[in-house]
Amino acid sequence: MYILNSFNSKLSRIDIGIGRLDISIPALLYMELIQRMYKDGVLYKTYPDGKYSVVESCILGTVVQVRKFKLKSCQYERVYIRILNPDHNIQIYFKEMLKAIFNRYFIPVSKITIKQVEVKYDHYCSLTDVTELKKDTVRLKRLFDRHLVHKYSRAGSHVKVKTTWYFGNNGIVHDGVYGTRSYIKDNKYFPDTTFFRAEFQYNAEYFHSKKITINDLPFNPLSFESFKRVDFLDCISRDGLKSVAKAILKTEGVKITDKLFRLKLRDKTAELTPLIYQTANHKPKNVHEQISIIKELKSKHDFEMNHKNHFAPLNGIKELILCHADVSYDEVGVSKRMVLCNS
């Protein structure tokens, strides 16, 4: 189990904000939108980005992109408005501007779709030595990678690309209701230093289910209560491994009253330990991997058990993240500094 005192000792603050806001509108309004970006913004430019044609401008100090691409059917195009690090002012600007354009063309405002919102939690360490700071940032990422799990996730809901873990529908963060990813970023304000980012991505399905529309802008990142959707769990207990072994033996017709039951249970537990718990170098697997393997075993051997009872919750980690001294919220900058409690 991760020592909570160690987790708390090096982490100085967590900054929260909206990292990205994506809005979808009908393609017929593309030129009207581009004209407004040219008129109201600065540093206007166009460029290709893979399958997208991108128009970029800086409006109210915020980078805004209009991304257009043609679907495979070639029947119509989709247009996305991507706002990077949007504060409240730019969100209100787009809400009023888009509603005015839609009303001018007698198009229902309901045709405006909130496609994606990224809520970011940036974790900064207090160490002054650059080498030690980077090491501590890596340790913090390792804690999230190993112990963070989605509530109600399915087997195979995670995938690793290079050093980043993605959690979502089949490991794709932009599918389904929401997803998360965790990675280390370079700190552009302090060269050669890094910080750790935990990112929660909310997709169109989420906003549709909550009946959230353009009228609900501006978004407050704290209102998403992202950490209510995840848990921090310790690795599976020894008793948990034995319970899985017992359940599989039962499906194989082995009874507790059998003379060789204890021996078979020991052998089955030893067989399952490297499969569920350990990696090839004998280190614990990440908890989400352990849970995913157990779910696959339950499906393969057709047995039922509440496996989550064997993963102890690490509530102290979440409490440290959510505990902060100042509960006020900076609506102008759309950022929130949470100072971890030292008690």
Query: pLDDT (tens digit, 9 = 90+) per residue, 47-58?
Result: 988 888 899 999
Report the chain's mean pLDDT, rounded to a whole number.
84
> CA 57, 58, 62: angle at the middle one, nearest 5?
130
> Are 295 and 328 part of one and the same domain?
no
Q: What pLDDT does 333 receive?
A: 44
Asked, for residue 28, whether it belongs to a domain, the answer is yes
Does residue 68 share a domain with residue 37? yes
In terms of domains, do 134 and 280 share one? no
pTM: 0.85
C-alpha torsion sign, points 187, 189, 190, 192: positive
Q: How many C-alpha atoms does 97 have within 13 Å on its Cβ side?
A: 19
Q: Amino acid identity of 95?
A: K
In the predicted structure, residue 142 carries a pLDDT above the cut 60: yes
- Identify whether 204 is part of a domain: yes
57 and 113 inside one domain: yes
- 97 and 196 within one domain: yes
Q: Is residue 85 part of a domain?
A: yes
Same domain flag for 67 and 172: yes
Does 343 fall in a domain? no
Nearest to 222 by CA among 112, 328, 310: 328
Report if residue 296 sits inside a domain: yes
Q: What is the mean pLDDT of residues 231-255?
A: 94
Within-domain flag for 282: yes
pLDDT at 280 over 80: no
In the structure, what pLDDT confidence band is assigned to residue 190 with cuts at 50, 70 and 90?
confident
pLDDT higher at 2 or 246: 246
Give yes or no: residues 114 and 223 share one domain: yes
Strands 178-186 and 77-84: unpaired
> 98 with 117, same domain?
yes
**What are 298's two structure tokens?**
């339950």
Is the domain of 262 the same as that of 125?
Answer: no
Which of 7-21, 85-99, 218-232, 276-290 has the least mean pLDDT?
Answer: 7-21
Q: In the structure, what pLDDT confidence band is assigned to residue 172 with cuts at 50, 70 and 90?
A: low
Read off the tokens for 127.
Answer: 């160490």
Lowest mean per-residue pLDDT among 5-14, 25-34, 60-69, 331-340: 331-340
Look at residue 133 in the predicted model and tell me its pLDDT: 87
**Residue 173 domain-assigned (yes or no):** yes
Range of the domain at 333: 4-232+317-338
The pLDDT-based confidence of 175 (bands split at 50, 70, 90) is: low
CA distance linking residue 332 with residue 87, whole number of Å:
6
C-alpha 196/C-alpha 204 separation (Å) is 26
Average pLDDT over residues 232-257: 94
Q: Among all chains, which residue has been given the structure tokens 């509440």?
A: 306
Q: What is the C-alpha to C-alpha distance for residues 340 and 44, in angstroms, rounded to an integer?
A: 41
Looking at the structure, do residues 144 and 257 belong to the same domain, yes or no? Answer: no
Task: Judge if 258 and 155 occupy the same domain.
Answer: no
The number of distinct structural domains making up the chain is: 2
Q: What is the mean pLDDT of residues 235-259?
A: 93
Indicate if 185 and 244 belong to the same structural domain: no
d(CA 192, CA 186): 7
Within-domain flag for 39: yes
* Terminal Cα distance for the chain, rounded: 20
